[in-house]
Amino acid sequence: MMWKAIGSSVAGTSHAASGKPCEDAVQYCVAKDVNGDEVMICCVSDGAGSAAFAGFASGYATQMMTDGLRMVAFSGAAISQGDIYALAEDIYYGLAAAAERQHVPLNEYSCTMLGCYITKGRAAFFQVGDGAIVRNDGTGFYLPVWWPENGEYQNSTCFLVDDSSFGNLNVVITEGAVNEVAIFTDGMQLLALNTEQETAHQPFFTDMFRFLRMANDHEKVNVLHRKLGEYLDSKQINDRTDDDKTLFLATRIGV
Amino acid sequence: MDEYISFEQIPFGSDNFADNPEPRCPCVLLLDTSGSMGGMPITQLNEGVRTFKQELMMDPLATKRVEVAVVTFGPVTVESDFHTVPNFSTRELDANGDTPMGAAISMGIDMVARRKREYKEHGVAYYKPWIILITDGAPTDEWAQAARQVREGEDGKKFAFFAIGVEGASMDILKQISVRSPLKLKGLMFREFFMWLSASMKMVSSKNPGSTINLLPPSGWTEL
């Protein structure tokens, strides 16, 4: 089964009210490796609300990361932790150069970054800051790869530009098939994760993947992609969160 | 083709959300109700507190997340412990007594520390607490200890402390107490101040790369 992916970033109501654009970003693609096998690539980022260039930072980070990961797929080499760190470094120095051009402190480019690179038998996940990556563990159970890192306060976390040695960047490479993954920013955290048990809220993911599994052509995936954007901007979501929110869903399970 | 149309009409999404406690944003109002606040100032302050509640009630998330406590001085009295906005109310405040500002500040800081412990025990996420001092005078008690607690709390990022001086307030002493510059209320624009405060609190959830708190520009109600 081929990968089917949808992903959308939508401005939170508090951003809309204050005239700020959406400062979340998502980029994803299905690349082909040298053997012609599919590689599911995604990167999601949440620009810090009080950073002046947060929107630029999240857009830049997701674009650079997905472009870089596509090159890894073309190269034919198996992905390594070093590949992720090298790309994070490129992004860090890109943002540092932008801050210098604008004559502003680097933390005006604060953003989180999390994503995946999934081949047939091997997957890499990476994350700095909050938000979460949730994967189907193969038995239909949804499992966060890491529990999101918030500081003492709900609105504090760590960011890509905080540390040029990337002490707070988590990277893991897993062997074996990953058939389903969801990635989201902290705007969705309280809806999709149970904070007391530190688990993924199973019914949420079961609901969200149900139709994506059923979609068996591009047109249907496109319909779902549009509906995802509408859903993220719906009253039921906005009553629960005023933050920007991003949700990416990918499955290679069909029915 | 039939199949395509049915896909257009599917109920995509989920309304089965995790049942987490809402993250809380605690706010303590330290209100000067000494004799000099008598007359129009106390009337306008009461009106301002009512406006604060009304404004927060208009925001569905602030309604669930903001918790307000009220301490008056003097004498130092907890008028209302932490309550979410719908459950928060105070009696009509009246003005009499002296100005034990130091004790009131210490009380507010203790309340914030206790509230945080309660959040932690119950697995409730929270935002940085706010302590708002409003006064028209100068402390009549020992305030050096309170000033030290404010400085330590601000340095340790334990809370954010704001001082608002009404006509007659000793701005010099407020400057020595508050790490952030105290602001001077223009006339009796309590209503405008509380509208600004509620609007700032609604914005609190946006993320921070530094230690700054996101405040709206204090326009209209301050003297320059």
**Angle made by CA atoms B53, B214, A192, in degrees to the nearest 5:** 80
Structure tokens, A30: 């299905």
Check whether B188 has a pLDDT greater than 90.
no
Please name the residues in contact with A77: beta carbons below 8 A apart, sequence gap of 6 or more: none
- Res A154: pLDDT: 83
Would you list the DSSP string of B118-146? HHHHTT--BPPPEEEEEESS--SS--HHH
CA angle B180, B181, B183 (to 5 degrees): 125
Does the beta carbon of B8 lie under 8 angstroms from any beta carbon of chain A?
yes
**Greater confidence, B30 or B187?**
B30
User: For residue B191, what pLDDT is reported?
Assistant: 87
Given a cut of 60, is residue B5 above it in pLDDT?
no
Interchain proximity B209–A204, CB inside 8 Å: no
H or E, element range at B202: helix B190-202
Q: What percent of chain B clears pLDDT 70, i.e. is strictly above it?
A: 92
Q: Which of A14, A153, A227 sits opposite B12 (nearest CB)?
A: A227
Confidence at residue B224, expressed as pLDDT on a 0 to 100 scale: 57
Minimal Cβ distance to A204: which of B14, B127, B212: B14
Which pLDDT score is estimated for A197?
87
Q: Is B23 on the interface with A (CB under 8 A)?
A: yes
Contact B61 A228 (CB under 8 A): no
Q: Which two tokens stand for residue B20?
A: 């987490």
- CA A33 to chain B, closest CA, distance in angstroms equals 32
Task: State how far the Cα of B178 lies from the Cα of B29, in Å rounded to an integer.
Answer: 15
Contacts of A201 in chain B (CB under 8 A): 16-18
Q: Among 3.40.1280.30, 3.40.50.720, 3.40.50.10320, 3.40.50.410, name the CATH number for the domain at B45-146+158-202.
A: 3.40.50.410
Going from the first residue of chain A to its last (255 residues), give the mean pLDDT of each consecutive group of 10, the final group possibly shorter: 94 81 96 93 93 95 98 94 97 98 96 97 96 96 92 86 94 96 95 92 97 94 97 93 94 91
- Proportion of chain A above pLDDT 90, given as a percent: 84
The per-residue pLDDT for B125 is 87
Indicate whether B146 pLDDT > 80: yes
CB of B14 within 8 A of CB of B77? no
The pLDDT, as a whole number, for residue A1 is 73
HEC assignment per residue over A77-145: CCCCHHHHHHHHHHHHHHHHHHHHHHCCCHHHHCECEEEEEECCCEEEEEEECCCEEEEECCCCCEEEC
Question: How many CB pairs below 8 Å do chains A and B form together?
Answer: 117
The answer to whether the beta carbons of residues A52 and A104 sit under 8 Å apart is yes
Q: What is the mean pLDDT of residues B41-68?
A: 90
Q: What is the mean pLDDT of residues B145-164?
A: 95
Ordered by where they begin, the domains of chain A are 4-251 (3.60.40.10)
**Would you say B129 and B153 are in contact if contact means Cβ atoms under 8 Å apart?**
no
Q: How confident is the model at residue B206 (pLDDT cuts 50, 70, 90)?
A: low
Q: Do B208 and A48 touch (CB under 8 A)?
A: yes
CA separation for the pair A220, A211 (Å, rounded): 9
pLDDT bin (cut points 50, 70, 90) of residue B196 is confident
The CA-atom distances, in angstroms, between B147 and each of B113, B135, B167 are 16, 15, 21
CB A84 within 8 A of CB A114: no
Which residues of chain B are within 8 Å of residue A236 when distances are taken between CB atoms? 13, 15
Residue B1 — pLDDT band, cuts 50, 70, 90? very low
Q: Are strands A24-32 and A38-46 parallel, antiparallel or unpaired?
A: antiparallel
Note the pLDDT of residue A205: 98
Q: Which of B128, B157, B205 sits opposite A14 (nearest CB)?
A: B205
- Strands A245-251 and A199-200, how do they pair? unpaired
Q: Which of B3, B207, B212 should one mutate to test binding to chain A, selecting the residue with the greatest count of A CBs within 10 A?
A: B207
pLDDT band at residue B90, thresholds of 50, 70 and 90?
confident
- B64/B175: higher pLDDT: B175
* Contact (CB<8Å) B13/A234: yes
Query: What is the overall mean pLDDT for chain B?
Result: 88
